[in-house]
């Protein structure tokens, strides 16, 4: 019976993977950046050079220039690689079945539709965290360089080889979250960027990148959700801090929450925090796995799943990343 249950579960996991690839990989004109990625492929197909896009992603585009709609193959391949990597990591952690519902509820399905390169880069970063655990700097550095081939922001991940080892109690993490709120309200990040730009004129362009929107300092739904999620995860610190890798997942995610709050008003720099935030896709399933009391585990799952649905609902209500209307070239 156990063997049959295992085979049935494996079948469902494979089916979910295929459904995700079909839906995401065959989308047509779905996502804010869809037209831009298509434009990049058109440049590659004409045999021209587009120096701005990262070389790894550019190479994948060049593999399909002989096909009339080669960009569709590019999207499908990137999607397949992103989710294959994520599924394999979750399988290694023995949390794969629990990961799948959170892919939907946290809106990563929509996110990966829109931000193709960074979605793949995020999964590579999550894999590379093992090298921080093993204290193998050069392997971690090499991993970051590979990630850099797909997203230049990866260079900012190098300091996390050391920063990621910082261990704080759940009380201090909660204090750090509220400290991040204060820094956000004081607009500290924007002021630092403006100071650097005033001292070094050639960096003045960063003023526009860091703060092209007027700073309001308000508390929208996104920040409120971040605060609640960060505090909720912090309260479960004891279930991950006994394992070194799980502790790193926890530390990096909590840093991601703090940075997300502080950088929220800067769309350009806020995107970097996605590397840290989406560790939550693994972290919550690991927390659930480590809870021994069955009833408590079930209650915790229901809480986190229902709460994480707010990201899914928000994406649909505000059409974040333009996942709607959905259409596929297959149907």
Q: Which residue has the higher pLDDT, 184 or 230?
A: 230
Task: DSSP for 167-191, please give it.
Answer: ---HHHHHHHHHHHHHHHHTTHHHH
Of all residues in the chain, the percent with pLDDT exceeding 90 is 63
Q: Which residues contact 140 (CB under 8 A, 6 or more apart)?
A: 128, 131, 132, 161
pLDDT at 329: 83
Q: Which residue has the higher pLDDT, 263 or 157?
A: 157
Residue 8: inside a domain, yes or no? no
The per-residue pLDDT for range 216-232, each reduced to its tens digit, is 555 688 899 999 999 99
Rounded-to-integer distance, Cα 122 and Cα 75, Å:
16
Residue 236: inside a domain, yes or no? yes
Task: Say how many domains are in the chain.
Answer: 1
Which residues, in sequence order, are bridge partners of residue 277? none
71 contacts 64 by C-beta, under 8 angstroms: yes
Q: CB-side exposure of 304: number of CA atoms within 13 Å?
A: 29
Q: Which residue has the higher pLDDT, 52 or 243?
A: 243
How sure is the predictor about 211, in pLDDT bands with cuts at 50, 70 and 90?
Answer: very low
144 contacts 154 by C-beta, under 8 angstroms: yes
Mean pLDDT of 290-308: 96
The per-residue pLDDT for range 73-99, each reduced to its tens digit, is 999 999 999 999 999 999 999 999 999
Residue 187: inside a domain, yes or no? yes
239: domain range?
Answer: 165-290
Rounded-to-integer distance, Cα 270 and Cα 267, Å:
5
Mean pLDDT of 178-206: 70
Rounded-to-integer distance, Cα 103 and Cα 123, Å:
13
pLDDT at 250: 97
Q: Which residue has the higher pLDDT, 82 or 53?
A: 82
212 contacts 158 by C-beta, under 8 angstroms: no
| Residue 212 predicted with pLDDT over 60 | no
Averaged pLDDT score across all residues of the chain = 88
Whole-model pTM: value is 0.91
Residue 135: inside a domain, yes or no? no
Phi, psi (rounded to 5 degrees) for 212: -70, -20
Mean pLDDT of 105-119: 91
Which residues, in sequence order, are bridge partners of residue 328? 27
Residue 44: inside a domain, yes or no? no
pLDDT at 199: 62
Rounded-to-integer distance, Cα 271 and Cα 109, Å:
16
Residue 310: inside a domain, yes or no? no
Taking the alpha carbons at both ends of the chain, their separation in whole angstroms is: 39
> For residue 122, how many other CB atoms are within 10 A of its CB?
27
DSSP-derived letter for residue 215 is P
Residue 6: inside a domain, yes or no? no
Closest CA to 229 of 180, 293, 177: 177
Residue 250: inside a domain, yes or no? yes
């Amino acid at each position: 019976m156990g063997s049959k249950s295992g085979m049935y579960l494996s079948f469902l996991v494979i089916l979910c993977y295929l459904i995700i690839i079909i839906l995401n990989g065959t989308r047509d004109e779905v996502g804010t950046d869809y037209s831009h990625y298509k434009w990049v492929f058109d440049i590659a197909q004409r045999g021209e050079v587009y120096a701005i896009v990262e070389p790894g992603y550019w190479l994948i585009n060049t593999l399909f220039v002989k096909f009339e709609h080669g960009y569709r193959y590019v999207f499908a391949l990137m999607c397949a690689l992103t989710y294959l990597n994520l599924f394999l990591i979750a399988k290694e952690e023995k949390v794969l079945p629990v990961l799948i519902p959170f892919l939907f509820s946290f809106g990563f399905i929509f996110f990966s539709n829109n931000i193709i390169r960074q979605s793949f880069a995020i999964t590579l970063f999550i894999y590379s965290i093992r090298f921080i655990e093993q204290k193998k700097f050069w392997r971690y550095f090499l991993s970051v360089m590979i990630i850099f081939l797909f997203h230049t922001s990866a260079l900012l991940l190098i300091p996390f080889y050391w920063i990621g080892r910082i261990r704080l109690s759940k009380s201090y993490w909660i204090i750090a979250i509220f400290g991040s709120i204060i820094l956000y309200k004081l607009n500290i990040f924007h002021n630092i960027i403006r100071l650097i730009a005033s001292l070094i004129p050639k960096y003045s362009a960063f003023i526009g990148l860091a703060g092209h929107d007027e700073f309001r300092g308000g508390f929208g739904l996104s920040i409120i959700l971040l605060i609640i999620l960060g505090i909720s995860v912090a309260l479960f610190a004891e279930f991950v801090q006994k394992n070194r890798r799980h502790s790193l997942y926890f530390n990096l995610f909590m840093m991601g929450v703090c940075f997300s709050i502080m950088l929220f008003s800067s769309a350009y720099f806020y995107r970097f925090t996605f590397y840290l935030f989406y560790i939550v896709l693994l972290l919550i399933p690991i927390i659930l796995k480590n809870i021994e009391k069955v009833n408590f585990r079930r209650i915790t799952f229901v809480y986190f799943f229902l709460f994480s649905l707010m990201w899914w609902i928000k994406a649909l209500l505000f059409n974040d990343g333009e996942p709607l209307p959905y259409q596929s070239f297959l149907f």
